[in-house]
Structure 1
C-alpha cells in the first residue's frame, strides 16, 4: 500500500539523494539507481519505516510513500506530512529562482542545482543535536560522531537484512553521561552541550513543538540563552531544521570562502560584507546560502 505525493516542480530527487548520501550517516539506505530512500523515523514515539521512491521527472515529479503495516490513519497522515517537510515539497522554487537569477553569480548555481531542495531533518530535536555535534569540526568526523552516538544508544530496526539505527530521543541522550560520549571521541564541552540540551527538552525547559508558531527572531531569542548553542547553530536550525527561507549564516567561514571564490574576490569577505551582499537575496537567502555551500560540496 502506498500514497502519492506530488511535489511542486522542479523537483530533482536524484540531486536530493546525492546530497543526503554525502553526509555518510548510517541510518539511511539510499539507492541512487532506483531513486529510493529508506530510514527509520519516529511517529508518536514509535519507530516507523519511511520508504520513499521517485517516479516521473524533474518537471513532473511524483513521490510514492510506502505505508507500513499496522499504521493508523492518523499515523499515516503524520508520515505524509513528514515527507513533505523533509523534502520541502511545497516550496515554490520557480519563484525562488526568479528572485535570485538577477545575480550573475547565483544564476549559474541555479542552473547547476536546478530542482535541488532543502533537505530537512525529520525532527527539530535531531536537527539541533546534530548541529551541536557539527559545530567547529569537519563534516566527515561530525558524521562519524553522529553514527557513534546512534550505536551507543543501540536503538535499531532491521530493514531488508540491514539494521538501521534510530537517532536517539531526548530521553535516551539525557540518560547518558559525559564520560560515555567522551569514550566515543566527543570532547568534554560537546558532550556537555548535547546531553544538557536533551535534558532541557526532557525537563520541559524548551518546547520545540512551540517553535513552529514562532518567528525567526523569537526562536533566536530562546536558543541564544541555551549553553552551547550559538548564532551559527541557531541559523542552521532555522534553515535545515525548519526550512525557513530567508536565512543567511553570514558568519560561516566556509560560506564566506565560497563567496570569495565565486565572486573572484581578493580577500575573504567579512560577516558584514556577506550580510550586505545578501541583502538582495531576500526573501530566499536560504537557497542562495544552500546552493553556494553545495557548489563547494559543503553541507
Structure 2
C-alpha cells in the first residue's frame, strides 16, 4: 500500500505557523493515508464513491474491478459495457460518467500522463471538464493520486468541521477559511490530514 508522503519539513513548517495545529499534530502523531497513484482507477473510484456509504462503495468498486478481470483500464471498462457495470450496484448515471471518462482517455481527449505536468489550477480545470467530476473530486485526486502538497478543500465538510473544532469557531465564512489556507501554505495537504482526523 502506498501512502501520502510527508515528513519533518511539513510538520515543522505547520507547527511553527500555528500553535493549535502544532498541539494537534503532536497528540495525533503520524497519519498514514492510502493513495491511488494510478489516475484512471482513481477517477472511476471517485465517481462510484459519490453519495454512498464507504461499505457500499467498497463493494461496488470490488465488483467493477472483478468485472474488468482485475485490471481497471479504459479498454477493460468500455469492454464491460453499461448493463454489466450497472449490475455491479451503481446507477446508470454514474455508469455513463465512468464510460465518458474511459472514452475520453481512449480517444486521447484526456491525457492522464500530461495531468502530472500541469499546475494545480490546470488540473482542476481539466478534471472538472469531465462529467461526474466536480472541484472536490478533483482536489481529492490531486492529494491522493497526484501527491500534490498544497490542497485544502473548501468543499470538504470534514475539513471545515476540523477547522471549527480546532479553533473553536461556530461558523466558518469563506474569508476565514482562506486565511487558514494562506497560513498552512505550501503544505495544505498535510494540514488536511490532521483536520480530517480532528473532524471525527
TM-score bracket for this pair, using the shorter chain length: 0.7 to 0.9
Q: Which one of the candidate residues 72, 77, 94 is aligned to 1:190?
A: 94
Q: Deviation digits for residues 78-112 of structure 1, max 9, x if unmatched?
A: xxxxxxxx3355x4x21111111132332233224
Structure 1: runs of 5+ lacking an equivalent: 1-36, 38-85, 156-165
CA distance in 2, matches of 1:201, 1:137: 26
The Cα of 1:294 is off from its aligned counterpart by 2.9
What SS is found at the alignment partner of 2:42? helix
CA distance in 2, matches of 1:278, 1:270: 13
Structure 2: runs of 5+ lacking an equivalent: none
User: Does the aligned pair in 2 maintain the 1:251–1:271 contact within 8 Å?
Assistant: no
TM-score with structure 2 setting the length: 0.87
Q: Deviation digits for residues 185-222 of structure 1, max 9, x if unmatched?
A: 21122111112111211221111111222111222222
> After TM superposition, where is structure 1 displaced by more than 4 Å over at least 4 residues in a row?
none
CA distance in 2, matches of 1:87, 1:287: 12
Q: In the alignment, which residue of structure 2 is the partner of 1:171?
A: 75
Mean Cα displacement is larger for which, 240-249 or 287-296?
A: 287-296
CA distance in 2, matches of 1:190, 1:241: 20
* Matching of residue 236 in structure 1 with residue 140 in structure 2: yes
* Matching of residue 256 in structure 1 with residue 171 in structure 2: no
The Cα of 1:264 is off from its aligned counterpart by 2.0
* Matching of residue 134 in structure 1 with residue 49 in structure 2: yes
Bigger fraction of residues in strand: 1
Change in CA separation of 1:197 and 1:272 when aligned onto 2, cut-off 3 Å:
farther
**Relative contact order, higher structure (CA 8 A, sep 6+):** 2
Change in CA separation of 1:273 and 1:176 when aligned onto 2, cut-off 3 Å:
farther
Q: Which one of the candidate residues 180, 185, 200 is aligned to 2:84?
A: 180
What is the aligned length?
A: 199
Q: Deviation digits for residues 234-259 of structure 1, max 9, x if unmatched?
A: 11111111000001111112221232
What SS is found at the alignment partner of 2:116? helix
Q: In the alignment, which residue of structure 2 is the partner of 1:290?
A: 193
Bigger fraction of residues in helix: 2
Output the aligned Cα RMSD: 2.1
Change in CA separation of 1:199 and 1:270 when aligned onto 2, cut-off 3 Å:
farther
Q: Which one of the candidate residues 48, 51, 65 is aligned to 1:150?
A: 65
CA distance in 2, matches of 1:140, 1:293: 19
User: Does the aligned pair in 2 maintain the 1:100–1:107 contact within 8 Å?
Assistant: yes
